[in-house]
Amino acid sequence: MQGRKPMKFSEIVQQLGALAQQSSLDTVPDIDPDIDGVQAIATATPGTLSYIDGAKFAPQVQTTGASALILPRNQDLQTAATARGLAWVETVEPRLCFAQAIALFYQPFQPAPEIHPTAVVHPTAQLGEHVYVGPHVVIQANTVIGNQVCIHPNVVLYPGVRVGDRTVLHANCTVHERTQIGADCVIHSGTVLGAEGFGFVPTPQGWYKMQQSGFVVLEDGVEVGCNGAIDRPAVGETRIGRQTKLDNMVHIGHGCQIGFGCAFAAQVGLAGGVEVGDRVILAGQVGVANEAKIGPGAIASSKTGVHGSIPPGQVVSGYPGVDHKIYLKSSAIYSRLPEMHQTLRQLQKRVAELEQQSSQA
């Protein structure tokens, strides 16, 4: 899968140098294997580089098939690796270092610039330099596409869309009217940006449709996973802050304001008008109710239901979401409810007997 030529381990260490602290090259200089790829620790084969991050994976230094390892600062692990004849480099952040190593061996598919002849591009659209517009892409009126943008096949841009430099739109995405996508964003396949928010007013005759005259803004460096949806509001904007990353099938309702550097896992859903501060993490399947406010640095565990406000930095869990420590205790007791219930009934009986004895005394 990884097409590059092999590299000497010493060369890799040099290229990862900014972070690497120490390596087997310093202590056992003849351990310098050829490395032709990166692999997971459990399934690594000779000639590959892998990594160990955290105590859970430590025992695998004894069994891995990898020829070289990125290790945390841990003398025992280093000694064990050396004893097995494995090359290693030490770092305070093995996972980050491994991510950098992957990038030495693998670059994602990026088509060469071209406007495919089957694409339908409106004459008023402005395209930057070195742009790829794949087969069957549709670019409608008054769109503005930056430089080095990559628009994969079958993407549809409605009128008035703006796409910043180096942004990638994967196949079968749809970007609705007036959406503004920043630079260095990645929109994964099947995602829909800027469609109409869910705005209906109840009347005796049925639902009256509130037109959604607003638009969606994605700041620079935003990623949106597959088959997601970010809706535009009736008035104003829905905004996703710089460097925020959304996993697959995330729904962002109309008028939400999301801060910098957040990460929302798959199947998270935000109702309308939610405000989310910087660096908030929402785990999988979290749901956030209308107009909720989530402070910077807050974290919600998977499946949490968020209502009202969450203070900065708080960790919440459960449905409805409560402080994570309370949740842990309460959920542990949940499965003992039948026992508690029985104990309570027995106590009622015993107290009744005591009361009877007391009254007879």
Residues 111-130 that bind a copy of itself (CB under 8 A): 116, 118, 120
99 binds a copy of itself (CB under 8 A): yes
Candidate list 164, 253, 277, 297; residue touching a copy of itself; CB under 8 A: 253
Kindly write down the DSSP assignment for every residue of 162-229, as one continuous string: EE-TT-EE-TT-EE-TT-EE-TT-EE-TT-EEEEEP--EEEETTEEEEPP---EEEE-TT-EE-TT-E
Q: How far is CA 209 from the centre of its chain?
A: 33
Candidate list 32, 165, 219, 231; residue touching a copy of itself; CB under 8 A: 231
Binding mask 46-75 for a copy of itself (x = CB under 8 A): ------------------------------
2 binds a copy of itself (CB under 8 A): yes
Strand partners, 249: none
Non-local (6+) Cβ contacts of 109 within 8 A are none
Q: How far is the CB of 93 from a copy of itself (least distance, A)?
A: 7
Q: How far is the CB of 229 from a copy of itself (least distance, A)?
A: 4
Contact, 85 vs 65, CB < 8 A? Answer: no
Residues 205-224 that bind a copy of itself (CB under 8 A): 206-215, 221, 223
Please say which residue, 24 or 304, places its beta carbon nearer to a copy of itself.
Answer: 304
Give CA–CA dist 259/277, Å, rounded.
5
| Count, residues near a copy of itself per rule CB under 8 A | 128
Give CA–CA dist 315/304, Å, rounded.
10
The active-site residue out of 116, 176, 254, 307 is 254
Residues 273-292 that bind a copy of itself (CB under 8 A): 284-285, 287, 289
178 binds a copy of itself (CB under 8 A): yes
Helices marked H in the chain: 9-15, 24-27, 75-83, 94-105, 324-334, 337-360
Q: How far is the CB of 75 from a copy of itself (least distance, A)?
A: 24
Q: How far is the CB of 25 from a copy of itself (least distance, A)?
A: 23
Contact, 215 vs 180, CB < 8 A? Answer: yes
Q: Which stretch binds a copy of itself (CB under 8 A): 23-31, 68-76, 79-87, 153-161?
A: 153-161
Q: Are strands 322-323 and 315-317 parallel, antiparallel or unpaired?
A: antiparallel
Give CA–CA dist 237/213, Å, rounded.
9
Q: Which stretch binds a copy of itself (CB under 8 A): 21-29, 74-82, 84-92, 267-275?
A: 267-275
Please say which residue, 80 or 152, places its beta carbon nearer to a copy of itself.
Answer: 152
Give CA–CA dist 257/129, Å, rounded.
32
Non-local (6+) Cβ contacts of 359 within 8 A are none
Contact, 254 vs 214, CB < 8 A? Answer: yes
Catalytic status, residue 254: yes
Q: Which stretch binds a copy of itself (CB under 8 A): 10-18, 21-29, 74-82, 197-205?
A: 197-205
Strand partners, 132: 114, 150
Candidate list 6, 235, 308, 313; residue touching a copy of itself; CB under 8 A: 235
293 binds a copy of itself (CB under 8 A): no
Please say which residue, 72 or 287, places its beta carbon nearer to a copy of itself.
Answer: 287
Please say which residue, 25 or 176, places its beta carbon nearer to a copy of itself.
Answer: 176
360 binds a copy of itself (CB under 8 A): no
Catalytic residues: 254
